[in-house]
Every structure is written in structure tokens, then in C-alpha cells.
Amino acid sequence: MDWVDIPAGQFLMGSDLRIEASSHENEMPQHRLHLPEFRITRVPVSNAAYRVFVAATHHPPPGHWIDGRIPEGKAHHPVTFVDWSDALAFCRWARVRLPTEAEWEKAARGDDGRLWPWGNQLPDATRCNFNNNLGDTSVGGQYLRGASPHGVLDMAGNVWEWTSSAYQRYPYQPKDGREDLGFDNPRVVRGGSYNHSDWNVRCADRQWFSPTARDVYIGFRVAESGDAESRLPMDWATIPDGDFLMGSCAREYPLRSPVDELPQHTVHVPGFRISRTLITNLQYKEFVEATGHRTPGHWVNNAIPPEQENHPVTYVDWDDCTSFCAWAGVRMPTEAEWEKAARGTDGRLYPWGNQEPDQLLCNYRHNIRTVTTTPVEAHAVGASPYGVLDLAGNVWEWVSSLHRPYPYRMDDGREDQASREQRALRGGSFYSSAEHLRCAFRSKSYPTRRRDHIGFRVVTTGG
């Protein structure tokens, strides 16, 4: 899941009749509310993510999945035909929760009381899926111009979203019983859907259904408190918020830098945590056993090869990695996050500095003794400035980003998780020469590629 951090603080909840003359009575009185820090998913839960849950738990699939299959072309659309109990079951499995009504509204409108997530301009077809413009749900996250102040997407239109809150009058008070999950009252949905008018996709608009309701218009996204952990325990390295130099310049590398590393530019990366090591065969086995996902092809009779439990998992394509992430409650790093974790802020050539690689620092082509992967903690002296291991050599690493020209911008479409364009690969492998181990070096491949020298690591938001 791609998480967005919502900081602690106050916001305006509800509507002011003096400003919004057509507001619904149930949005009043407008009141100021303080919420602690929390996280919310950038987009609603997709059919693809829900499929991992169904496979792992044998929960009944949504009714529009004929023969249990996601409708063609809709893997990355929001899951629908899920009632409130279905959403809660997903949350219990994923170790997350539904957002409260208050959390949902704060994530949608920020602290300035805006009418829609993007501001006070009327909705249009570039900002959200509404007014029956498409006549159906759309891929989650494609309306970047419709982002909320916190960068949350699809909070106007596409699908109504279940919240944890029972429907009660304002002011919102979290301890008045409305957040009792056993309270059998109608539950609040937020955000409107693809066939609703501009007024029904406002941040303050409130609707409610019986918790047994299922419809093509209703889905959900999930939240967690700021201190929540992922499903699978990880050894995390913390990467602080701040700028770093991404890419190469002519004087940085003795040979001419590949054109896809140019121009070198400054990128601001919010704080995050990255797994100190690559995902291992043993960690991947937990995912396989929990979900029934296919095993990597080199696992003979579905068993990890002897003595390779602590080696990086390989023969995993980009889709395998995203399925693992959906199950574990994490995500793959962006290219910018990966490079910052590798080189820090001083523009070094390799994770350990500017010294040329050797057998102690990393597993690469000049190592005489190895022509395969090595254990993920075998080259501790080659750690990055943040203590992250194997960012040079061992295996190439899938990242979330499409391979597109620089400068890197997260909002230019390269983080479109539904695209089937080539994805970036980073870090080099045991087959690679020294040039390919540089922090700035970029490779690419289509998301269906599987090889003995490709693996991945994961991140979670919040540094």
C-alpha cells in the first residue's frame, strides 16, 4: 500500500451555511477538530489488492467477479460490491483499519476548509471521475490534478468509501459511540462516486448506508495510526526528510554518464523507512504460505533451495513484488527513494563512498568465488550512509517507478502503478561490472521479467 502521512493538528469539519448556502443539514454545525497523526492510503483498495486477501483467507469474492475472477481490465480499479463487514475483514487481515469519518475529511481537505480536495474550483474531467463522465469506475490514482493538500487521490468521485463511523449528528465526537464497531447503525460513506454531481463530491458531503449495502458505487480505503507496523517484521533503516542530488554529471564519473542519468538535479524526498536488506527467500515463503501465491521457479518442489533461506528471493517479476507488498502492508521504493537510500546527500559514486568495488564491499562480476547470490548481510562493510546493505551488486532491485527521462518528478506519471511500461531496476547484480554498481546507474525492464539476478526490497512511509 502507498501510504500518505497526515500530521497531527486541527482542521475544519463540516460546512458553514453562510459560505455554502446549499450545504446539507447533516454537515452542520461546522466545527474545529484536533486529530492525532495517522496514515491513509493514497488511493482506494484495488481489485488486485483485494484478490490477495481473497486468496489468503478464502473470503467470498465480490459478486461481479464472475467465477471468482477480476473483470477484464479492472485489476487496478477500486474494488466494489463490498459491504462494511467485507471491508472490516480485509482490514483485520491486513492489520489496518477503516478511516474514521473525521480522518477521511481531514485527509481530503487539509486544514483550510476547502470545498473539494484540490481547492474551491468546480470539478472537471481533469480532476475527478464524476457526473457520469465515464459511466464506470476508473483506475485508482489517475487524476493527479485532483490531489488533496496532503497528496491523497480519488477523494472526490470514482467510488463512495466506507468509513468506520456510525452515522450520527455533528459535532463529531469520537467517544460518543459512533466509533463502536459493534454498533449496528448505518455507516458513513464519503467522497461521492463516478455518477454523482459536483455538490455530492465535496469534502464535507456525508451519506450513509446500512452496513450490509453492496453496490458498484461503493469501495473503501484504509488507514493506520502513526506507529503501526507492517504485517511482516522488517529490519528498517530510517531515511530522513530532505534534499539529495539525483543522477550524474559529466565530472562525476570518468566515463561519459549514460544519458538517462542526466541532468543531475536536486530532489526533495519526504522521510521514509527502507528495509535494511533485500527481501529473502524465507520472508517470501511466509507470503507464499499465507496467500497461495506461486513460488519462484527455482524453488524445486516449491521448496527454498538448500542453504538459501537468507539469500535474496529472485525469479520474481514486478507483479509478484507488488502482490507481496499488498500482503505485507508495505510498498516498493520509488527511484528517488532508492537512490537517496543508496548515496545519501553527498553525491557519492557508490553506497560506501568513491572507492572502487572489491570482494569485501559487494557481490559483483569481479568476485572470483561467487557466480550467484550471497546472503543479504554478507557485505556489511559496503553499507550506504544510512546502513542499508546490498544496494550495489547481489541482485538488481525492482522499484515502483517507470523508467522515464530526468528530472525525476513524482507527479509526472512515472509512479502510475497501473502502467505496463518498463520499470526501473537499480543496484546491479552479481553479473554486473563496476560501472553498473554506481548509485546513479539505471536499468529497466518490462514488469513481467523474471531472472536469477533480480529481486526487491520494500519501504514504508514515515521517517
Ranges of residues in the chain whose predicted pLDDT is under 70: 19-21, 183, 226-232, 250-257, 366-370, 462-463
Give residue 115's pLDDT.
94
Burial zone of 86 (CB within 10 Å; 0-12 exposed, 13-18 middle, 19+ buried) = buried
Contacts 24+ apart (CB under 8 A), 204-207: 204/13, 204/14, 204/15, 204/20, 204/23, 204/27, 204/105, 204/109, 204/115, 205/24, 205/27, 206/24, 206/26, 206/27, 206/101, 206/167, 207/160
Domain 236-461 is in which class? alpha beta
As given in the structure block, the three cell numbers for residue 179 are 466509533
CA distance 161 to 78: 10
Q: How many CA atoms lie within 13 A of 51 on its CB side?
A: 21
Burial zone of 233 (CB within 10 Å; 0-12 exposed, 13-18 middle, 19+ buried) = exposed
Give residue 182's pLDDT.
80
Instruction: Return the C-alpha torsion angle 312, 317, 323, 324, nearest 10.
Output: 0
- Does the CA dihedral 384-396-51-75 come out positive or negative? positive
Give residue 252's pLDDT.
56
**Rama region for 21: left / alpha / beta (φ>0; ψ in -120 to 50; rest):** alpha
Give residue 446's pLDDT.
97
Give residue 255's pLDDT.
56
Give residue 250's pLDDT.
64
Give residue 461's pLDDT.
74
What's the CATH number of domain 3-225, 3.40.630.10, 2.30.30.100, 3.40.50.300, 3.90.1580.10?
A: 3.90.1580.10
Q: Kindly report the number of other CB atoms within 10 A of residue 168's CB atom.
A: 18
Residue span(s) of the chain under CATH 3.90.1580.10 come to 3-225, 236-461
Give residue 175's pLDDT.
86
Give residue 139's pLDDT.
95
pTM: 0.58
Give residue 330's pLDDT.
87
**Do residues 296 and 315 lie in contact, with contact meaning Cβ atoms separated by under 8 Å?**
yes
Render pLDDT for 114-137 as a digit per residue (tens, 0 to 9). 999 999 999 999 999 999 999 999
* Cell numbers 566515463: residue: 255
**Do residues 396 and 429 lie in contact, with contact meaning Cβ atoms separated by under 8 Å?**
yes
